[in-house]
Amino acid sequence: MKIATFNVNSIKARLPRVLEWLKERNPDVVCLQEIKSLDENFPRMEIEDLGYNIETHGQKTYNGVALLSKFPIEDVQRGLPENTEDDQARYIEAFTGGVRIGCLYLPNGNPIPGEKFDYKLRWMDHLVSHAKTLLAYEEPLVLCGDYNVIPKDEDVFDPARFEGDALTQPATRARYRELMYLGFTDALRVLRPSGADYTFWDYQRGAWQKDNGLRIDHHLLSPQAADILKDCQIDKMVRGGERASDHVPIWIDLDI
DNA sequence: ATGGTAGTTTAACTA
């Protein structure tokens, strides 16, 4: 069972690339971030034609997440529970094909210090709290998406250039570790313990051409999901396509 | 120290 995550940076602008990739990779479940679309404007028909059920949590202009699945989608939850004052569409969760999936778009948090960084840290606190609840179900669980967290210095092309960035701050990394220490497994790192495995290249300064990337899109697995992990791949070549997103798809294969 | 790009939206924001 292939479960992918892909920050598309506008589903409208990226639809041809997304359809092309769906046909080639044929994932069973897909988590999309930054759809930048209202629910009613999501291009449902084109994606349903490829055999997917769809649940969206959209908003106008910014953010927005969606879940695609070839299996029935049950128990849909929009937004992190407890985070009731949050007006940004950054989380959708559901049970599908025997796996519970949380699709998340964690706040970027720049610049620091400031309101946006405070919001990021609060959002991470809510995520940790909810992850505890989900882990207690003791079922295969995948929390994946754009974390906007560079876990370690090896996950960025030039750590020195990111010293003042919200993606590498000690407070950011401390909360990410708090999440990991609950018992999650980083799917990519359990299969590839080190290396420049980037998932994002900025549109600016020729970042893609120079391979100046970041690893910020992750699949975190509950023990029950980690036990059945078969594979994890980054579809890096997608970044070189026409009108590409600044992120590429990452997928895991679970033996379920 | 600034600007470079992309998307949404049409001046300014987010990333």
What does A97-120 look like in DSSP terms, one character per residue? TTEEEEEEE-----SSSSHHHHHH
The active-site residue, picked from A28, A52, A91, A146, is A146
Number of domains in chain A: 1
Residue A111, preceding bond cis, omega within 30 degrees?
A: yes
Distance CA A103, CA A143 (A): 6
Number of residues in chain A? 256
Residue A43, preceding bond cis, omega within 30 degrees?
A: no
What is the residue range of A117's domain?
Answer: 2-254
Determine the nucleotide nearest to A205 by Cα–C1' distance: B4
Rounded to two decimals, the pTM is 0.97
User: How high is the pLDDT of residue A43?
Assistant: 98
CATH number for the domain including A32? 3.60.10.10
Q: Which residue reads 């910020």 in tokens? A: A216
> From the CA of A198, how many Å to the C1' of B1?
29
The active-site residue, picked from A52, A105, A147, A176, is A105
Distance CA A178, CA A184 (A): 10
Q: Is A52 a catalytic residue?
A: no
> From the CA of A243, how many Å to the C1' of B10?
21
Q: Is A227 a catalytic residue?
A: no
Q: Do A28 and A54 contact (CB within 8 A), yes or no? A: no
Strand B contacts (Cβ < 7 A) comprise: A 9-10, 12-14, 36, 60-63, 107-108, 110, 116, 203-205, 243
Among A123, A88, A103, A79, residue whose Cα is nearest residue A7: A103
Among A127, A115, A118, residue whose Cα is nearest residue A169: A118
Q: How many CA atoms lie within 13 A of A242 on its CB side?
A: 4
Tokens of A185: 């497994």
**Nucleotide B14: nearest residue by CA–C1'?**
A62
Determine the nucleotide nearest to A13 by Cα–C1' distance: B7
User: How high is the pLDDT of residue A84?
Assistant: 86
A253 burial level (CB within 10 Å; 0-12, 13-18, 19+): middle
Q: What share of chain A is helix, strand, coil (3-state, %, to 5)?
A: 30, 25, 45
pLDDT values of chain A reduced to their tens digit, one per residue, 256 residues: 999 999 999 999 999 999 999 999 999 999 999 999 999 999 999 999 999 999 999 999 999 999 999 999 999 999 999 898 899 999 999 999 999 999 999 999 999 999 999 999 999 999 999 999 999 999 999 999 999 999 999 999 999 999 999 999 999 999 999 999 999 999 999 999 999 999 999 999 999 999 999 999 999 999 999 999 999 999 999 999 999 999 999 999 999 9
> From the CA of A28, how many Å to the C1' of B14?
31
